[in-house]
Structure 1
Amino acid sequence: MSQRNPRATAALLLQRVIYDGTSLSQLLSDNDDSIDPLVKDLCFGTLRWHERLSAILDQLLTKSLKTKDKDIECLLRVGLYQVLYQNTPEYAAVNETVAAVKGLRKSWAVKFVNGVLRTFLRRKESLVHQIQEIETARYAHPKWLIESIKQAWPEQWESVLEEANLRAPMTLRVNLSQNTREEYQASLQAEDIESTLHPTVESALILERPMSVFELPGFNEGYVSVQDAAAQIAASLVQAETGMRVLDACAAPGGKTGHMLEHTAGLDMVAIDNTETRLIRIGENLERLGLEATIILGDANEPSDWAQQGFDRILLDAPCSATGVIRRHPDIKVLRWEEDIAQLHEQQSSILRSMWNILKPGGRLVYATCSILPAENEDIIAAFLAATPEVVIKPIEAEWGLAQQYGRQVLPGMDAMDGFYYAVLEKQ
């Protein structure tokens, strides 16, 4: 793929995401060495504005392209994205997109792509105005998700959607067992890297601009990791103490595992995940940080030998819709469907019950998701409390997020954070 025109490469990747339901993160990881930054920007940007670009294409195309030619349709999306959002000169965007047709080996489409894009340029102003009347295009989210967010957050829904369309900041987690946050900020300043202290999360620094991790001083030595501030809250809520047996369920890629070990020395830490390739990521992350945990291929829904001793603390970062991290993973807009939420609810409830059974009496379980939908958050906890007499819900006193009946919810963009939910449960 490395020799292919970057716009053609982007079109093929988008076809896999939009029409095959493949995760963009997975595709970029699989082809990591051959994907250049332009391809990544084209893919992320085109998916971020998918609903708007689709609405424009609906106006431009008299009929839908055949399944075998969806790569050409995706190339048109790339061309439209460049004109509308990349500030690429219009003639260059058209010429480069038309040239990319050769990379798709469909010579018949040269005139077609050229004609569609030039028609768009002629009608650009009226088309852009026209699609603003379509709610999905205006907010650049699928209809089911707009309705779900309206229902869940009647006062904040518009700002939630707007924040989800922005690019997320690059946030660092300073390893406080190695440096203070202010000391690390000074080392960034010495390299002319500007950052600001996060207002509510004591380990978090927000960079003024994204950069390669290898440009960060002390990255290879484990002084710092990349992790959104909302995800950094988990370690303080777990409240582990030296000598405790702690489980990070659904642990990959290991960011929270590492943070708990940085936060509290001398833990008997077990990290599980149900995918071998993801276990490798946990190991790599802990090795860079100079930390150790027992890493096990296991299913949080079906505890086995690794769970027999029980745990004093459990962090359950449950599989979820990821609706709180759309700004980092815009492919969620096309990969998630309304019916997924009920299935996830069942899975989350089941895993919570399984994890509760291996929590020792007097132990603490932190339930977390990167979702903003109550069906995956408060509703789960409410039902669990009703069915489980020995549960005590612990109020979270904090400056971050919004207090809920059970737990706290961060909405996307609050204090520059991703959307995240936390609830703290203790076993009597």
Structure 2
Amino acid sequence: MKKQQTKKVSAIAATASIITNVVKNKKNLPDCISEYQYKINQEDIPKVQAYCYNILRRYEFYQFIVDALLDKPLKNKDQDIYHLILSGVMLLNEGNLPAHAAINETVNVTKKTKKIWAKNLVNALLRRYQRDQFSLHSAADNNPVSHYCCPEWLLKKIQNTYPDIWQTILKANLQHPPMTLRVNQLMGSRENYLNLLSEENLSAQVCPLTKNGILLEQAVNVEKLPRFSEGAVSVQDSAAQYCAELLNPQADESILDACAAPGGKTLHLFESCPQLAQLIAIDISAKRLEKVQQNITRITPDQQNKFILIAANASDTKHWWNGKQFDRILLDAPCSATGVIRRHPDIKRLRKASDINALLITQQQLLVQLWPTLKKEGLLLYATCSILPEENAQQIKTFLSSHNDAQSVSFDVSWGQPCEYGQQLLPICQSGRNQTDKKNKGNSDGFYYCLLQKK
């Protein structure tokens, strides 16, 4: 008997369902797309990904328009229809389809639901959007939340923290992020890899202010990158590449990478100094540690004995630490991720103002609990992908006030903005016109670094 094939759903139907899952169930976008892939035609997967990222990047804008179109709010149980309308508006606005095709494709999705009433509603609202698009857009642009596509709580925080450049930061968050590579220096030079890219007709340039970074002109599937499967190169934003340069591991040292998954920084530390005695990578998620192992296998299959992977809460040292202190520690702490919104726009749906206090507690616990595991004169690099001072320099100030054996170590770099403690990179798209642009040269994600030494 022939096995019945699962009927595939349209790209716009999949998009509406995925967005509902992110917004209603607070699930991250990559996981939602991964869970839904078997329901989508293979050729539609890139389209669905693009649609989802477009919507989440500008969710407040589309939300404003849909709310203005509706005579009364839909019930909570009808969030699927709400996000179908929202997806249809996006399709009309930036879907590169004729208007009639965009409307028909969106309306057709309602025929496969049990909500018969939704067909006329979706059709009417999308046609009204067509007629009133100019006035609706003008109204949305006059509202800071919908204009900058940022939740109000976060918009106010960024305004208060960066009064001179808050608009620049918020506009940068709406841009598509660059695809940046890190060349494995154990397998060849950056210049050699640029030649390999050129041979494949992939345009790229040196990523400024990094030792091994390359900026691609256009993003491509990693399978198209020369020798990617052999470990010659990894995808990693330039801001994250500063980690290994700042921690600067040395031969025969024992290194701890706390909160290590997915392992990009772990492997960069090893590439920087393969003569390390050992590198212990800890993450609270055993599933995410599988990705670390995959990266180790791809990049350095013959040196796997140098790595020890532990699934544990890094701050709960009594359950994983054997008492032997580390020479250097990387603490890439859990954070609000407000520096990587352009790369992960679902953050704006997943984070809320009340999350910050819980994160501050976690960050301070990690600092306090990991400090005893560091040798005297050892170094701990505290890092976040946040642009909020309370998670960064203020955390270090709190820690130093209760630890007399700790001191902040200054580092001479030409990127970022100096803080009371450490250095802050902002997610600003560069034009090279002002001092802020020069200090953030290279179009990196938002990142914070502070180097601490034990006296």
TM-score range, shorter chain: over 0.9
- Alignment partners' CA distance in 1, 2:7 and 2:415: 44
Q: Identify the residue that residue 25 of structure 1 maps to in structure 2.
A: 30
Residue 33 of structure 1 and its aligned partner are, at CA, apart by 5.4
Residue 2 of structure 1 and its aligned partner are, at CA, apart by 7.1
Tell me if structure 2 keeps the 8 A contact 1:10–1:43.
Answer: yes
Q: Identify the residue that residue 73 of structure 1 maps to in structure 2.
A: 82
SS in 2 for 1:167: coil
- Alignment partners' CA distance in 2, 1:323 and 1:332: 8
Pairing of 1:25-424 with structure 2 (within 5 A): 25-32=30-37, 36-267=45-276, 268-290=278-300, 291-292=303-304, 293-304=307-318, 306-307=320-321, 308-413=323-428, 414=440, 415-424=442-451
Q: Which amino acid aligns with 1:324?
A: G
Of 25-34 and 352-361, the range deviating more from structure 2: 25-34
Residue 30 of structure 1 and its aligned partner are, at CA, apart by 3.5
Q: Deviations over 1:96-152 (max 9, x none)?
A: 111222344533311111111001111111110111111101111011111101111
Tell me if structure 1 keeps the 8 A contact 2:248–2:272.
Answer: no
Which blocks of at least 5 consecutive residues in structure 2 are unaligned? 1-5, 429-439
Tell me if structure 2 keeps the 8 A contact 1:8–1:103.
Answer: no
Q: Is it true that 1:425 corresponds to 2:425 in the alignment?
A: no
- Alignment partners' CA distance in 2, 1:211 and 1:105: 40
Q: Identify the residue that residue 11 of structure 1 maps to in structure 2.
A: 16
Q: Which amino acid aligns with 1:274?
A: I
SS in 1 for 2:74: coil
Tell me if structure 2 keeps the 8 A contact 1:5–1:103.
Answer: no
Q: Which amino acid aligns with 2:444?
A: M
Cα distance 1:9–1:274, how it changes in 2: closer, same or farther (>3 A)?
same
When normalised by structure 2's length, the TM-score is 0.92
- Alignment partners' CA distance in 1, 2:34 and 2:267: 21
- Alignment partners' CA distance in 1, 2:120 and 2:147: 30
SS in 2 for 1:304: helix
Residue 13 of structure 1 and its aligned partner are, at CA, apart by 1.0
Residue 32 of structure 1 and its aligned partner are, at CA, apart by 5.0
SS in 1 for 2:181: strand
Q: Which amino acid aligns with 1:283?
A: Q
SS in 2 for 1:253: coil
Number of residue pairs the alignment of both structures matches = 428
Cα distance 1:286–1:33, how it changes in 2: closer, same or farther (>3 A)?
farther
- Alignment partners' CA distance in 1, 2:38 and 2:231: 24
SS in 1 for 2:115: coil
Q: Aligned residues: percent identity?
A: 39
- Alignment partners' CA distance in 1, 2:37 and 2:367: 35
- Alignment partners' CA distance in 1, 2:215 and 2:112: 39
Residue 6 of structure 1 and its aligned partner are, at CA, apart by 1.6
Q: Which amino acid aligns with 2:109?
A: A
- Alignment partners' CA distance in 1, 2:116 and 2:328: 60
Residue 73 of structure 1 and its aligned partner are, at CA, apart by 0.6
- Alignment partners' CA distance in 2, 1:172 and 1:132: 36
SS in 2 for 1:211: coil
Q: Which amino acid aligns with 2:70?
A: L
Cα distance 1:2–1:8, how it changes in 2: closer, same or farther (>3 A)?
same
- Alignment partners' CA distance in 2, 1:236 and 1:103: 54
Of 267-276 and 289-298, the range deviating more from structure 2: 289-298
Tell me if structure 2 keeps the 8 A contact 1:248–1:315.
Answer: yes
- Alignment partners' CA distance in 2, 1:387 and 1:325: 31
Q: CA RMSD in A?
A: 1.4
- Alignment partners' CA distance in 2, 1:311 and 1:62: 62
- Alignment partners' CA distance in 1, 2:83 and 2:134: 22
Which blocks of at least 5 consecutive residues in structure 1 are unaligned? none
Of 402-411 and 98-107, the range deviating more from structure 2: 98-107
Q: Which amino acid aligns with 1:9?
A: A
